[in-house]
Amino acid sequence: MTTDFSYPHIQMYIAGQWCAGGDGQSAQVLNPATEEVIGQVPLATIADLDRAVEAAVAGFEVWRATPVAQRTAILRDAADRLSARSAQVARVMTTEQGKPLAEARGEVLRVADALRWDADDARRAYGRIIPSAPGTLLSVRREPIGPVAAFTPWNFPAGSPMRKIAAALSAGCSIVIKGSEETPGTVCELVRCFAEAGVPAGVLNLVFGEPAKVSAHLISSPATRLVAFTGSVPVGKLLASAAGAAMKPSIMELGGHAPVIVCEDADPVVAARRAAAAKFANAGQVCTSPSRFLVHESVYEEFTAAFVEAAGALVVGDGREDGVTMGPLANERRLVAMEELVADAAARGAKIRCGGERLDRPGYFFPPTVLTDVPADARIMSEEPFGPIAPIVPFTELDEALRVANSLPYGLAAYGFTRSSATAERLVRGFEAGILSINHCGGSVHEAPSGGVKSSGYGREGGPEGLDAYLVTKRVSHILED
């Protein structure tokens, strides 16, 4: 582990200037691998939020009038700066969030590519001319919606903020984004790249603060025109309700409890290895993480053995150290939640095949945990774990597995393993989810949309659909006169 590193000084970014909170209030930032205080994050006052919104209003007028080719060049410059600093930004991310350095750097490089993709795709936000009556020009135009209020969580300190920032700025909008107070350093590094690339003052504003106060004020402001949120279902429902009361469109990328169905014709060892790799990435703190494993009874034992072996091969530790493949949980809250879910399942008869208890060391470490013989009424079968716990249960008929998979109010991601194209099609048609992977557990990609159904939210991020919410479709009917 290298020592030539210091955690950055955290500030907000408003109207093109780095600043502290107006009343000097701040909160501690902790390293989850050591529980040490590594910094302070400023907390915005109402006056700070008003300044940020005012800046976004002024910045929007400048940015929307900037030719799209010039906007694209600036955003591509920001992406190049971020790529060049990927190792540095990854170390900031690992220090404040815990994931291994390789995962952190991969995240940084992916979001830089996502920014390039959005910037280029904005040049294809075409309108159209519609055939009409003689002397009439009927057209459809696509225009930026206006200042955006965005809110992001701690599990992907670069990925979540960049999805909002990249889409908003590519579409020609300005944005006020509230980063996570637990992982503020990474988003500060992202914003620094945009500022140095020449994004005009006011176009991109970064604040931190007490979540309920910040969200209520930004959403209710008449100046903000779109609400974009990634986070839990309960908080998403509150923000969506507030946005609805203000008659504002919103994008809600909320939680899930992703089922995995392993069919009888699947290769159980391959399925187990691929599923385990996805399950324990980011210590399971991923909204699309596979989290309920429904395995056909004929391959159940072989799948379980291979899954337990893969879990046991992971090296848990400080993400800054060489060889570590799974870091700590992000905070004490997640650690307590894991203990409660395991205790509940065990009390109801589940078997703990590996893991199950927090590690006896400083930091928020919980090992990869596999549960079998899990009854349907165990909390882990209906509550999103958002951590490294994998319940595995057998099934007999595929229709029953699909019924169980779809029985919860969530519908973000789902996964299936089969060597039959006909069975794959049954899974595709049968799963109620916005994101579906067959024979792998891949993550999001910037060229295709991601989003959920049911209580997992609405709207899409990524792909051509990712810009839709940030654009207004305007119909223009023009009577031509001499």
- State the Cα–Cα distance between residues 321 and 318, nearest whole angstrom: 6
Residue 385 has pLDDT above 90, yes or no: yes
Q: What is the pLDDT of residues 296-313, one digit of tens each?
A: 999 999 999 999 999 999
Q: Which of 189, 253, 264, 432 is catalytic?
A: 253
- State the Cα–Cα distance between residues 396 and 404, nearest whole angstrom: 12
Helix (H, G, I), strand (E, B) or coil at 409: coil
Amino acid 432: pLDDT = 98
Residue 2 has pLDDT above 80, yes or no: no
Average pLDDT of span 114-123: 97
Amino acid 250: pLDDT = 98
- State the Cα–Cα distance between residues 63 and 172, nearest whole angstrom: 6
Task: Note whether 130 and 473 are within 8 A (CB).
Answer: no
Distances in Å between the Cα of 370 and the Cα atoms of 301, 325, 425 are 13, 17, 29
Amino acid 1: pLDDT = 52
Both structure tokens of 333: 């809250």
Residue 190 has pLDDT above 70, yes or no: yes
Task: Note whether 381 and 294 are within 8 A (CB).
Answer: no
Homologous superfamily of 12-254+455-476:
Aldehyde Dehydrogenase; Chain A, domain 1 (3.40.605.10)
Query: pLDDT > 90: what percent of the chain?
Result: 98
Q: What is the pLDDT of residues 84-109, one digit of tens each?
A: 999 999 999 999 999 999 999 999 99
Both structure tokens of 54: 């005012």
**How many CA atoms lie within 13 Å of 480's alpha carbon, on the beta-carbon side?**
8
Is 19 an annotated catalytic residue?
no
Q: What does residue 5 show for φ and ψ, rounded to 5 degrees?
A: -150, 140
Q: Given CA atoms 193, 152, 444, 327 in this order, what sign does their dihedral have?
A: positive
- Compute CA 481 distance to the chain's CA centroid, rounded to the nearest angstrom: 51
Is 143 an annotated catalytic residue?
no
Amino acid 5: pLDDT = 86
Both structure tokens of 364: 């928020």
Residue 416 has pLDDT above 90, yes or no: yes
Task: Note whether 461 and 447 are within 8 A (CB).
Answer: no
Pairing of strands 175-178, 204-207: parallel
> In which order are the strands placed within the sheet that holds 136-144?
128-130, 136-144, 471-479
What residue ranges do the domains of the chain occupy?
A: 12-254+455-476, 258-445
Both structure tokens of 348: 């109801």
- Compute CA 368 distance to the chain's CA centroid, rounded to the nearest angstrom: 22
- Residue 444 pLDDT grade (very low, low, confident, very high; cuts 50, 70, 90): confident
Average pLDDT of span 436-443: 94
CA angle (374, 394, 420) in 5-degree steps: 145
Q: What does residue 263 show for φ and ψ, rounded to 5 degrees?
A: -80, 165
- State the Cα–Cα distance between residues 155 and 241, nearest whole angstrom: 24
Residue 340 has pLDDT above 70, yes or no: yes
Contacts by 241-245 with C-beta closer than 8 Å and gap 24+? Answer: 242/215, 242/216, 243/219
User: Within a 10 A sphere around the Cβ of 65, how many other Cβ atoms?
Assistant: 8
Distances in Å between the Cα of 227 and the Cα atoms of 15, 222, 437, 469 are 20, 12, 28, 10
Average pLDDT of span 393-402: 98
Element containing residue 427 per DSSP (H, E): helix 421-430
Task: Note whether 331 and 32 are within 8 A (CB).
Answer: yes
On average, the pLDDT of the chain sits at 97
Burial of 68 (0-12, 13-18, 19+ CB in 10 A): middle
CATH number of 258-445: 3.40.309.10
Radius of gyration of the chain (CA): 23
Burial of 392 (0-12, 13-18, 19+ CB in 10 A): buried
Task: Note whether 374 and 391 are within 8 A (CB).
Answer: yes
DSSP for residue 316: B
Residue 482 has pLDDT above 80, yes or no: no
User: What are the residues whose beta carbons fall under 8 Å from the beta carbon of 229, sequence distance 6 or more?
Assistant: 150, 151, 235, 236, 239, 240, 250, 251, 252, 253, 254
- Residue 442 pLDDT grade (very low, low, confident, very high; cuts 50, 70, 90): confident
Q: Which of 287, 384, 441, 461 is catalytic?
A: 287
Task: Note whether 290 and 384 are within 8 A (CB).
Answer: no
Average pLDDT of span 70-78: 98
Q: Closest by alpha carbon to 229, among 174, 161, 172, 144?
A: 161
Task: Note whether 257 and 408 are within 8 A (CB).
Answer: yes
Task: Note whether 290 and 261 are within 8 A (CB).
Answer: no
